[in-house]
Structure 1
Amino acid sequence: MTQAQNNIVVKKRYLFYISQNYSFEILRPIQQQILSRGDECAWFVEGSDVNLTFFRHNEQRLKSIEEAIAFNPHAVFVPGNIVPDFIPGVKVQVFHGLEWKKKGHFSIRGFFDLYCTHGPITTSRFNQMAKVARHFLVKETGWPKLDPLFQIAPYSLQTEKPVVLFAPTFSPNLTCAPILFEEIKRLVATDEHFWLVKFHPKMNPDWIAKYHTIQADNYRVVDTDSCLPLLKRAHVLLSDTSSIIGEFLLLNKPAITFNNAAPGEYLINIQSVNQLNNAINQALNNNTQLIQQITQANAQLHPFTDGLSAQRVLAATDQLIAHRPATLKRKPLNLLRKFKIRKKLNYWKL
């Protein structure tokens, strides 16, 4: 073998497997790291819920499952819950939110080789489950989506009014969108605040349409592939039990929640519509004790503020690619879930 052949560098290939619009801002920091070191990445979209216009001109999209398989990735990054086992490469769960209180956050579905957790409050529990299951690894990396959070420019909005960001979850048993509609409409009419509204991609379309009926100069429903500029611009967040709460708190700003699943002292949690206006006033009054409680909660949820989570995810992934520990068992057969994936993708080759 010649010296030139010895010096050949083999590029690694990474696949982003997505099914929702929120995946873009989760995975793009990883894409940036991959491309900066000369490796290759591509995207595969499952289903029809992703707005394809959100893709940038320089992003490679594979248009069929056959193309995704032929891409032969070394690793597949997934913000969702499932990924086809027949796509090559180690499967890496990066999660689609910080909200560990939601049902299903700690469900082990048997698809992933590596879970990249966000902070001690989730890492400890996944480590416990890994000791029992023994077919996946856990690495605390932080969440790549938040890498640009502290540097990104705020959402452009010309107003001197305090900005309230309303961002409810979509889950029917958790969302506050229906019950708060009339009160938000009333508060918008007072013209005391500027209201930004951002819905989860899976929100019931009927309720999205309902909120669009509110028309005012101090009110705007925003459709965007990135929530981070909205978080930077808002003075206070109004939600329920959504991942966006944790993201907002990392900016050391107050969040109001409606019937949060597990409220802590770091939240202004209300249980009645009539409490909303007072809660907004409380949030907008500087409260040193509340900010201290938020800071303590952040240390457990997501202690990383260095913007290097994508680098840590890649490092943990590359380590697994290079060396799969002999102690790891094979993943479970998962026959029913695998059949459903094949049916959804109409792929039956073995």
Structure 2
Amino acid sequence: MRKYLFFISQNYSYAILRPLQQEIWRRGGEVAWFLWGNEVDANYLKEDEQVLKSVDAVKAFNPDAVFVPGNTVPRFFPGVKVAVFHGFNAGKLNRRGNNDHFNIRQCFDLYCTQGPDTTEPFKQLAKQHGYFNVVETGWPTLDPLFTDTLTEPTANKSKKTVLMCSTFSRNLTCAPHLFEQVKKLSTTGKWQWLVQFHPKMPKHIVEQYKSLESEHLQFVETDNVLPLLKQADVMLCDTSSVIQMFLVQNKPAVTFNNIDPKPYMVNFTEPNLLEEQLSYALQSPRDLTQQIGEYIKQLHPYRDGQSSGRVLDAVEKVLLGELTVEKTKPLNFIRNFKLRKKLKYWKFN
């Protein structure tokens, strides 16, 4: 029986990894969770989910593979280290001006990519570095979007539903800029509104939008955005990978001041154009629909709800030696020293 560890540091990671957990259980495997840092809440764990509370417990569990939706994982954890990503490539740049999605941190043995537009760059990086494999699997997180198992929230479906999401970054967020417009539109009852923000969104902005709650607008705090994505007819956002999660359903996304607007988005820069742009997107114009369709082919062409299975199959090939590498993964003493310090673990056995 295979054993797998989920290494997480954010609450949204629960929803990212649970489809994978279901497939592991279906195959007769065992799953344990390790919660790292003070930004992840153990209260989101379910009764049937196993949690390991120390590095010693992880060592005793001895996982065959460790799945990580974040950027780093301790080298001293047993098992193949697998990157499954916490979102799509949204084009965000780090402080050095590089695309953070393709930052190689010397932590992973296997990258399970979501579609051709990320697979090819990672394969080039694999050739360059030589110590990790890349397999295109699709993103396990989205499996429920393409099955009948996802429960939708209750809402008024006699009219179109707008889902507003926003990142927390002060330079990228649309929330403070669009508040007055959302306030005005929500009172008309023209559309049903669902509002969901990144967990790091400043509290004063969260409270602003909570004050708008009515029969026409619901502020949602959740660790799982998928049911909201499935219910909404159009998304309003800024620069966030949740846009791509919405687009894979062949639904339109309206963006405010996106840092790299594309033809498959409806981008605008003046708040007073919000109603006009949402109305346009909801008409599903042919050109926009075609652009979204072409983009999905590159972003995430898998609509069978079986990406979790493909991830596990890829991991199994690594474990069986069917996927090999040319070089040994760098020791990266500095990063692993920092991780040991944070975890207060100094055993070297």
TM range, smaller chain: over 0.9
Q: Is 1:12 aligned to 2:8, yes or no?
A: no
1:195 positional shift? 1.2
Which amino acid in the other structure matches residue 139 of structure 1? Answer: V
Alpha-carbon separation, structure 1, partners of 2:157 and 2:288: 26
Bigger mean CA deviation after superposition, 96-105 or 236-245 = 96-105
Name 1:349's counterpart in structure 2. 347
2:259 partner SS: coil
| 1:249 corresponds to | 247
> Which runs of structure 2 are paired with 1:126-275 in the superposition (5 Å)?
126-151=122-147, 152-275=150-273
Task: Say if 1:327 and 1:252 are closer, same or farther in 2 by CA, change over 3 A.
Answer: closer
Deviation track 1:284-332 (CA, whole Å, cap 9, x = no partner) reads: 2131221111111000000000111000100101111111755431222
Alignment of 1:108-119 (within 5 A): 108-119=104-115
Residue 320 (structure 1) aligned to one of 318, 327, 340: 318
In the superposition, the TM-score normalised over structure 2's length comes to 0.93
| Equivalent residue letter for 1:193 | W
- SS of the residue corresponding to residue 167 of structure 1 reads strand
Higher mean alpha-carbon deviation, 105-114 vs 331-340, is at 331-340
Ranges in structure 1 where 5+ consecutive residues have no aligned partner? 1-10
**Residue segments in structure 2 that go unaligned for 5+ positions in a row:** 94-99
Instruction: Give the match's secondary structure for 1:214.
Output: coil
Which string of whole-angstrom CA distances, capped at 9 and with x for unpartnered residues, describes residues 237-293 of structure 1? 001111111111111111101121222111101111122111011012131221111
* Residue 293 to residue 196, structure 1, CA distance change in 2 (3 Å): same
Which stretches of structure 1, 4 residues or longer, exceed 6 Å deviation after superposition?
A: none
Work out which of the residue numbers 73, 77, 96 in structure 2 matches 1:83.
Answer: 73
After TM superposition, give the deviation of residue 110 of structure 1 in Å. Answer: 0.5
Query: SS of the counterpart of 2:197?
Result: coil
Between the aligned partners of 1:308 and 1:153, the Cα distance in structure 2 is 18
Paired residues of 1:77 and 1:91 also in contact (CA < 8 A): yes
Confirm or deny: 8 A CA contact 1:154 1:231 kept in the other structure.
no
Residue 35 (structure 2) aligns with: 45
Q: TM-score, normalised by structure 1?
A: 0.93
Give the distance between the partners of 1:108 and 1:342, measured in 2 at CA.
20
Instruction: Give the aligned residue type for 2:7.
Output: Y
SS, match of residue 345 in structure 2: coil
- Which amino acid is 1:101 matched to? G
**2:59 corresponds to which residue?**
69
User: Secondary structure of the residue that 1:198 maps to in structure 2?
Assistant: strand
Equivalent in the alignment of 1:6: none
Write the deviation string for residues 68-121 of structure 1: whole angstroms up to 9, x where unpaired.
222110100000001011110010000000134122111111100000000011
**Alignment partners' CA distance in 2, 1:37 and 1:243:** 30
Q: CA deviation at 1:153?
A: 3.4
3-state SS of 1:76 partner: strand
CA distance in 2, matches of 1:159, 1:306: 26
Distance 1:304 1:226 in 2: 20
- TM-fit CA distance, 1:173: 2.3
Q: Distance in 1 between matches of 2:190 and 2:14?
A: 34
CA distance in 2, matches of 1:336, 1:271: 43
Over 3 Å counting, the alpha-carbon distance change for 1:339 and 1:178 in structure 2 is: farther
**What residue is the counterpart of 2:297 in the other structure?**
299
Q: How far apart, CA to CA, are the structure 2 residues paired with 1:172 and 1:84?
A: 31
* Percent identity (aligned): 51
Distance in 2 (alpha carbons) for counterparts of 1:235 and 1:326 = 44
Aligned pair count?
A: 340
